[in-house]
Structure 1
């Protein structure tokens, strides 16, 4: 047998070797996927509770298992909303989130506090990832850094190296996603999912501002969840029957599907609030607005105290584009 034939035979047999050596991946249902993700997110989740085997968020083990779960999903048995939910999460794997291992929405140190060994490993992971991220120009904002420092102080976590690192850490200058590498694309991916319309942020902003101008003078609002950080989630939980989702950051609620199926009605003042939050969302995450600019804009649209305005701005920073899941409740003039 000549050399060329042997080489061809190797290439033909190589895929067979891989098939023989690998177990076929078992496909899982939506409920099994959701349960698996909740287990993997145990340290991010106070609702699910702590499991005996902790997986540190955004560690290699966490990322590998999360990806395995995504790829194991039997999407042929998912409805359209479930498929869109999973597709969005898969897209998010492309972006810098994995380089920022400590989501500021969760006090991970407090969740790990009973397990000193896990806390030690966690601090090492945070230092490694934030150092590597900084070299790739992926940076925390000043607001995010201050939250992490506050978490450490609240938990009385005595890790001198991590404290000193965060104290000397130079954050990015603005709050929005746009300052990350591919940050505008990252924000657009979120907007596509929550808004369910693939329009440019600037085109959407112009539409929102035109509608706000048409609605006239600012109004006063009395809303019990005004101070909640994740405004869209809190509003939907208060007014609608939740549709189960896969994303831990939305408390495993499919926000767009929940809003679409919600029968609640909303007066024009509440609609004005939604539009105002959408305006600052694009301003912060796409156009590079400062916190002060976002607050002034909100207070020009609505009669809010500084505390109320700041809380709404902070929530917008922490949960980009989620406010657009409330779009079904907004009617634009033609």
Structure 2
């Protein structure tokens, strides 16, 4: 009897040991590296060298989402700094929202990134699979009142047209791209360019405001705070005469904080930088502070008050005396990177 009990005890210990999954990552840095590898079609880095894409690296595929979730769960089990915990919580919350329905984030030319891998050029099966998935997801999203806005659709059309015109692809991939181009040309966008135009968009936007600002205020409260501060501004000269970037691959806020000491982040949209922490360490000039305040105001206007593109553009020009071209770029950037400007909330308000 005792031998039987001892055997059963040993079996229980063995089964318990087998059932406990090993933690795949043991540090913040390891998890960041894993995310960079996973997101290689979104943000290409010099440290990640691959010849072709795996199923996990097909943006927002089931395999991708499962891998990303596993990385986030590993991070939640680690001992992290407070700013790192804030990042993880923000990314985990974002999993609940509709981003996954939009397989092709419009700020990134994912197609061009995928074609950059030599192996993929000769065996484009995964790109074709991803294009089919992207179209299927866009169709599924419509059933939940989730649609692209006109800025996103315009960018996706430009990527596809550019690839086809330059004869970068041939054969089966070219046929699928032409079919996808026709699909996009018949696609009906949502009325509002802001997040509030999406199902659960208001909640998604609130989570972004909370994370980037480090404070919890409703959009209406932010609008009031910003209005009071902006009304005290006296802008007599153009805020910025910078060359207007040609793409939105790097958000405007990422470009602004580059001069600050780099603090590692986890999100591909921030190019793996901790934007709120880096912004907090910057000594912004009066003109840059004014720029950020008006960008925050426009951010709330677009994503909460449903401002149109012309309304948002006029607000930036009027407040900051910037060129129409720069205003157009900033408006598009705010649409594509909601809430990022609030990284400067703690230093400007």
> Normalized against structure 2, the TM-score is what?
0.85
CA RMSD between the two structures? 2.1
Which residue of 2 is the match for residue 137 of structure 1?
145
Asked whether the 8 Å contact 1:141–1:175 carries over to 2, the reply is yes
Which residue of 1 is the match for residue 339 of structure 2?
321
Mean alpha-carbon deviation: is it higher for 157-166 or for 37-46?
Answer: 157-166
Deviation, 1:94, is 0.4
Deviation, 1:329, is 2.9
Which residue of 1 is the match for residue 60 of structure 2?
58
Asked whether the 8 Å contact 1:178–1:288 carries over to 2, the reply is yes
Aligned length: 314
Asked whether the 8 Å contact 2:244–2:326 carries over to 1, the reply is yes
Deviation, 1:217, is 4.6
The yes-or-no answer on 1:42 pairing with 2:40 is yes
CA 1:109–1:18 in structure 2 vs 1: closer, same or farther (change >3 Å)?
Answer: farther
Mean alpha-carbon deviation: is it higher for 27-36 or for 219-228?
Answer: 219-228
Which residue of 2 is the match for residue 235 of structure 1?
256
CA 1:76–1:312 in structure 2 vs 1: closer, same or farther (change >3 Å)?
Answer: same
Q: Distance in 1 between matches of 2:129 and 2:341?
A: 35
Which residue of 1 is the match for residue 3 of structure 2?
none
Q: How far does the alpha carbon of each residue in 1:34-88 deviate from its partner, in whole angstroms, 9 at most, with x for none? A: 0111111111112254524431000000000000111122644211111111111
Mean alpha-carbon deviation: is it higher for 223-232 or for 290-299?
Answer: 223-232
Which residue of 2 is the match for residue 306 of structure 1?
324
- The partner residue of 1:22 within 15, 19, 22 is 19
Instruction: Return 5+ residue gaps in structure 2 as ranges.
Output: 1-11
Deviation, 1:18, is 8.7
Asked whether the 8 Å contact 1:99–1:133 carries over to 2, the reply is yes
Deviation, 1:218, is 5.0
Q: Distance in 1 between matches of 2:93 and 2:134?
A: 23
Mean alpha-carbon deviation: is it higher for 31-40 or for 66-75?
Answer: 66-75
- The partner residue of 1:67 within 69, 72, 76 is 69
Partner of 1:191, secondary structure, is helix
Asked whether the 8 Å contact 1:225–1:234 carries over to 2, the reply is no
Which residue of 2 is the match for residue 253 of structure 1?
273
Which residue of 1 is the match for residue 4 of structure 2?
none
CA 1:294–1:136 in structure 2 vs 1: closer, same or farther (change >3 Å)?
Answer: same
CA 1:130–1:74 in structure 2 vs 1: closer, same or farther (change >3 Å)?
Answer: closer
